[in-house]
């Protein structure tokens, strides 16, 4: 199965939410946890217990683990592994991007089955050229794993870059999305959603066209940041069934009680229901 098909299956059972695991210092403190590896581990354990069987996709933010060095990565390995053991799809929010053998190293770290960090998907940056992503795209295709390519994010600095228009009249964001659509085209021909998705903000006022994508769309900016189900439907258009709203702050603010976190997921999910498979 492609990653896109796995994600559709998960969404049919659990709805379309992606919930982040974002153990930044202020949230650890708000949960009454120490800002150290022990606090990181307990925060992650609680999130896994609350989310592994309640949402389609869980997204650990790698930076908050990386700041604790090797011990932090050990907690991340355990978190990803436990999520996957429980049957939950895990996307590592690493936003890696480089060229040549370095990019191949990143691909191996996050998508190779032999890696201790292996995830169901990883986020990557295409801003050294879309072609630089070839190693991660190839490994994803080989193993049926996912890649989410940063395409149209909502922060003002990104819009200054990504809204720039090339000679053919397409914005940089649109060029990235069109390149992803080409990668997924072979699977589209067989009626399957592809392995490669994009990250598109749910609060964009001038979003790119997604109708040809045939891959999952990770959409941050909902919940506390103001994006709604109506915004997602409008931006995603024909690809709405492949749009996965990413919530973190609004759900995590209900911790550390596991039941409160679960209830928050259930309440949020009513705005973003699952859908029957055709």
192 as an active site residue: the answer is no
Contact 104, 97 (CB under 8 A): no
Tell me the two tokens of residue 276. 């029957």
DSSP tally for the chain: helices H, then strands E: 12, 8
Rounded CA-CA distance 181/57 in Å is: 22
What is the distance, to the nearest Å, from the Cα of residue 46 to the centroid of all Cα atoms in its chain? 20
Tell me the three state secondary structure of residue 43: helix
**Active site residue: 14, 59, 86, 95, which one?**
95
- Active-site residues, by number, are 95
């Amino acid at each position: 199965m492609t990653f896109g098909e796995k994600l559709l299956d998960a969404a049919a059972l659990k709805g379309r939410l992606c919930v982040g695991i974002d153990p930044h210092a202020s949230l650890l403190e708000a949960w009454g946890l120490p800002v150290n590896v022990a606090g990181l581990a307990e925060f992650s354990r609680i999130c896994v217990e609350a989310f592994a069987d309640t949402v389609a996709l869980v997204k650990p933010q790698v930076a908050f683990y990386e700041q604790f060095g090797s011990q932090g990565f050990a907690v991340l390995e355990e978190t990803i592994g436990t999520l996957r053991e429980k049957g939950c799809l895990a996307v590592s929010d690493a936003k890696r991007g480089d060229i040549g053998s370095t990019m191949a190293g990143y691909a191996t770290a996050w998508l190779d089955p032999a890696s201790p960090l292996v995830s169901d998907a990883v986020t990557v940056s295409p801003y050294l050229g879309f072609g630089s992503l070839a190693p991660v795209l190839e490994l994803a295709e080989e193993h049926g794993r996912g890649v989410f390519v940063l395409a149209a994010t909502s922060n003002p600095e990104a819009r200054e870059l990504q809204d720039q228009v090339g000679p053919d009249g397409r914005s940089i964001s649109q060029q990235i999305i069109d390149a992803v659509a080409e990668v997924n085209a072979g699977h589209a021909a067989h009626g399957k959603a592809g392995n490669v998705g994009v990250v598109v903000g749910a609060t964009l006022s001038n979003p790119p066209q997604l109708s040809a994508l045939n891959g999952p769309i990770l959409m941050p900016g909902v919940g506390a940041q103001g994006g709604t189900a109506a915004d997602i439907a409008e931006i995603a258009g024909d690809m709405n069934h492949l749009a996965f709203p990413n919530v973190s702050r609004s759900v995590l603010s209900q911790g550390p009680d596991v039941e409160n976190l679960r209830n928050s997921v259930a309440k949020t999910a009513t705005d973003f229901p699952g859908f029957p498979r055709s």
